[in-house]
Amino acid sequence: MAQTPPHGHGRVTHFRDTWRNLQRITTIRVIVQTIFFTLFVAFVLLTTFSHLDRFPALRHWVSKLLEIDPLVSISTAITTHTLYRGLAWSLLLLLPTLFLGRFFCDWICPYGSLHHFTGWVFNRRKAKQRIESNSYRRMYAVKYCILAGMLVAAIFGVLQIGLLDPICLLYRSFTGAVLPAANLPFEGVMGDYRLHAGAWLIGLVLFGLVAMNLVIPRFFCRTLCPLGALLGVLSRWSWWRIHRDPEKCNGCNRCRLACEGACDPQGRLRKSECFVCFNCIEECPEGALSFRLMPPKSGEVAAPDVGRRGVLFAGVTGLLSFPFVRFSGRSTRDFSARVIRPPGATEELEFLERCIKCDQCIRVCPTNVLQPATFEAGLEGLWTPVLNFRMGHCQLNCTACGQVCPTGAIQRLTVDRKQGRGAFAEQGPIRLGTAHFDTGRCLPYSKNIPCVVCEEVCPTSPKAIYAERRMRPLRDGTKVAVAATENTATLTERPEPGRTVGRPARFDIHQYRGDNTVRYFASVRHADGVVETHRIADNDADTILIEGRFARPPEPGTPVTLEIELKLPRVDTDRCIGCGLCERECPVVGDRRAVYVTAEGETRSAEYPQRDRNRSVRLL
C-alpha cells in the first residue's frame, strides 16, 4: 500500500491518496478560488440587457462582488454618509476578516486569484530565488499610504478608490478590455463587437499589473491594493493566525517557497500581510506551522509596517488631492458640455462621491452609448460613465444602467419615472441634455439637401425635433419668362451683359416636380412689383407647369425665380430629453454631427441652481 508523504509532494496513485489530497486545505482553497473566479466571470457575462430583461432578479446579483467589497462601502459611506442598498453585504466580508485575517485576498478576490494563477504558471524559479522573492520588503507598506490617501480624499468628496480597488479594477477591465478581446473569435456569440473609449489604457493597466507578477510575485496585492490594505488593518485584531512553533522549526525557510503574502511565516508573522493561503503549513517538513486560535502575541507583528509619519504624509497627499483635482474646474465651472451622464445619474458632485468606476453600467448598456471617460470629466472622472452619441444612444424604455449600479451613482429608475409618465407626469421626463443644430453642417439648412433623419428617429411623442417648411431661392434660379399661358411659363436664362435675350433654359425633365419631401415653387415678380408664387407641378426642358393658374400670366421679360421648399429641423426644448438618437443617426458624420446633444437642460442639476455645474436651459 502506498504511503502518503505527510505534507504533499507525493505521487498520488491510490484512491485513498486522491481523497486525502482533496482534503488538503490548499486544494480546497484552489477550489474556492476557482468558484469565485467563475462566479465573477459569470456575473460579468450576465450583465447584459437581454439577460436582465429575461431574468430581472439578476440585477441583485451581477454586482454582488462589488457589494461585498468593504472598501466600496466604507469609502462611499465616508463620501455620502449613507450605505446604499446592497452595500450592507460588505459586512459579510468585513466581519469574518476580524476573526480570520485577510483571507479574502487568496480565497475570494478574483483579481487576487488571477495574480496567483499567473505567478503559478509563469513565474517558475529556483527554490532559493522563490524564497528570496517571497521575503517581506518595506515597499509593501505603500498600499497603506494609498489607502490613507484615498480615504482622506474621500472625506472631501473625491472618491478615487475605484482606480485601484481590485474588484472595481477587474470588473472594469473585463468590460473595457477582456470581453471585447474574448469576443473576437466568437463573433455573434456574445453579440456584435463593442467599442470602449480608452480601452487601450484599461487593457494596458490590467496587463501591466498582471505582468508585474513575473518580476515580483503578487506585486499588486502586496504593494498597491487598497482593499488588501484595509483588510490588513482589520486583521491586526483577528483571533486566528498562522502560528510557528519555535520548538519544532529548524529554520529551513521552506515555508517561504510559496508564501503568497510575503508575511514572514519563518519569523514573527506579519498578520496584516498574510493572505491565509496555508501554503506555508503545507510546505513545512517539520509540522511546525499551524492555523491557531489566539496564539502568543510574541510570534506576530500585528500592525502594518507603516509609521505614523508615512500615514500622515499620505493623508496630506489625499488632502491636497482634493483642491488639486476639484479646482481644476472640470467638475464645476469648466465642465465639459459633452459630459452627459446616464439617466438617473445624481448631480455631478454627488455622482463623483458615488461612482467607483466599476463600469457595470457600461457593460450592461444595450447600445454601447455609455463609455468610460478618459479626461473629459476631469482627472476625478477618469473611467466614469459618459454618453457618446457617436457610439449609440440612450433607449427610451431602458433603465438597465441604474439597475446594476452598486453605489447609487446612477439611481434605480422605473420606465415611468424616466419618461415622466403616470405618477411622475408632474415631474416630467429625465432629461440628459438638449439637442442643438449646427446649421452650417445640417444638410437642409446649409446645402438644400432634404434629410430630417433626426425628426424621423426622435422617440418622444410628440417629437421634440420637428420640421418647418422653408422656401429658398435656388442658385442661378432667377429666369426670364418668354412666353406664358394661364398655367405654364417658358423660361430663358437671364441675358448676359450687353444682350437682350438670354439662352433658353435647359432643365431636366421633371426636375422640379418634387414630392412630399421637397417642393419647388416659381415666384413671378410683375413689372408693378406684385409677386405671385405657385407650386411647380412639372416641367420639361424649358417650360414649367404650375399648380392652379397665374393671376396674371407673366409678360415676356418678367423675372421668374425658382425656389426650393425643404423641411428644416428644429428642436422643441420642452420635449427634448437628450437621448442622442438624432445625433447617432445624423448622416453628417465628420468629427461633429450636424445635430448634437450637450448637457444643457439635464434634469439632474436642475435642483442645484447654486452650483456652477448647473446646466438648466430654461427658467420656466
List of residues contacting another protein (CB under 8 A): 48-50, 53-54, 187-188, 191-193, 366-367, 392-393, 395-398, 443, 449-453, 455-463, 467, 508, 515-517, 567, 581, 585-587, 589
Query: Is residue 160 helix, strand or coil?
Result: coil
**In whole angstroms, how close is the CB of 599 to another protein at the nearest point?**
22
**In whole angstroms, how close is the CB of 509 to another protein at the nearest point?**
8
CA distance 535 to 564: 10
Q: Which three cell numbers stand for residue 342?
A: 446616464
- Sequence-ordered list of residues with C-beta below 8 angstroms from that of 473, at least 6 positions apart, any chain: 561, 562, 563
C-beta closer to another protein: residue 459 or 477: 459
**In whole angstroms, how close is the CB of 392 to another protein at the nearest point?**
8
**In whole angstroms, how close is the CB of 455 to another protein at the nearest point?**
5
Cα angle 578, 588, 458; round to 5: 30
**In whole angstroms, how close is the CB of 432 to another protein at the nearest point?**
16
Beta strand 434-437 with 595-598 is: antiparallel
Number of neighbours of residue 551 by Cβ within 10 angstroms: 11
C-beta closer to another protein: residue 311 or 364: 364
DSSP 3: P
**In whole angstroms, how close is the CB of 419 to another protein at the nearest point?**
9
C-beta closer to another protein: residue 13 or 439: 439
- Sequence-ordered list of residues with C-beta below 8 angstroms from that of 416, at least 6 positions apart, any chain: 422, 423, 424
C-beta closer to another protein: residue 74 or 571: 571
- Sequence-ordered list of residues with C-beta below 8 angstroms from that of 56, at least 6 positions apart, any chain: none
**Nearest-CA neighbor of 556 among 483, 479, 478?**
483
- Sequence-ordered list of residues with C-beta below 8 angstroms from that of 86, at least 6 positions apart, any chain: 60, 63, 64, 67, 406
C-beta closer to another protein: residue 397 or 500: 397
**Nearest-CA neighbor of 611 among 333, 206, 303, 199?**
333
Q: Which three cell numbers stand for residue 558?
A: 418678367
Straight-line distance from the first to the last Cα atom of the chain, in angstroms, rounded to the nearest whole number: 89
**In whole angstroms, how close is the CB of 188 to another protein at the nearest point?**
5
**In whole angstroms, how close is the CB of 258 to another protein at the nearest point?**
44
**In whole angstroms, how close is the CB of 368 to another protein at the nearest point?**
8
**In whole angstroms, how close is the CB of 508 to another protein at the nearest point?**
6
C-beta closer to another protein: residue 159 or 595: 595
C-beta closer to another protein: residue 187 or 555: 187
C-beta closer to another protein: residue 247 or 515: 515
CA distance 154 to 152: 5
CA distance 360 to 176: 10
Annotate 28-80 with three-state secondary structure. Answer: HHHHHHHHHHHHHHHHHHHCCHHHHHHCHHHHHCCCHHHHCCHHHHHHHHHHH
C-beta closer to another protein: residue 245 or 572: 572
C-beta closer to another protein: residue 299 or 366: 366
C-beta closer to another protein: residue 122 or 193: 193
| Longest CA pairwise span in the chain (Å) | 123
**In whole angstroms, how close is the CB of 46 to another protein at the nearest point?**
13
- In 245-297, where do the E strands start and end? 269-270, 289-293
C-beta closer to another protein: residue 225 or 364: 364
**In whole angstroms, how close is the CB of 300 to another protein at the nearest point?**
54
**In whole angstroms, how close is the CB of 365 to another protein at the nearest point?**
9
CA distance 224 to 359: 21
C-beta closer to another protein: residue 104 or 520: 520
**Angstrom distances, CA of residue 306 to CA of 70, 114, 142, 311, 461:** 21, 27, 8, 7, 62
**In whole angstroms, how close is the CB of 395 to another protein at the nearest point?**
5
C-beta closer to another protein: residue 467 or 564: 467
Beta strand 240-244 with 289-293 is: antiparallel
Annotate 13-32 with three-state secondary structure. Answer: CCHHHHHHHHHCHHHHHHHH
- Sequence-ordered list of residues with C-beta below 8 angstroms from that of 403, at least 6 positions apart, any chain: 52, 59, 364, 412
CA distance 262 to 202: 28
**In whole angstroms, how close is the CB of 10 to another protein at the nearest point?**
46
How many CA atoms lie less than 13 Å away from 499 in the CB half-sphere?
A: 8
Q: Which amino acid is at 223?
A: T
C-beta closer to another protein: residue 4 or 460: 460
Phi-psi region of 464 (alpha: psi -120 to 50; beta: other; left: phi over 0): alpha
